[in-house]
Amino acid sequence: MSPARLIARRYRVSGRVQGVFYRAGTCQQALELGITGHARNLPDGSVEVLACGEAGAVERLSEWLWEGPPSARVSDVAVEELSEEALGGWPQSFRTG
């Protein structure tokens, strides 16, 4: 069995995603999936999510980002692929900020 392929993606989630427990919900999903990174509010009202982990788990989180918690209204999820070098190493945990 080969080791899982690790990937990193940065998402910018737009819509009604601040003040609706979006970051907390994302953190819960990430922890359940074994993903490291962060979720943080941006000044323009969007949320940035950095997701690092096994490709299938990151894809499942990506799907959840389009839904979010019940009171969120997601209008767009932009994605950027990142390398470990660009990150300066993999994050060790998932945090909100």
Residue 23 bears catalytic tag: yes
Spot the catalytic one: 5, 10, 16, 23: 23
Whether residue 41 lies in the annotated active site: yes
- Helices 22-33 + 55-65 axis angle, to 10: 160
Catalytic site residue from 12, 16, 41, 95: 41
Catalytically active residues are 23, 41
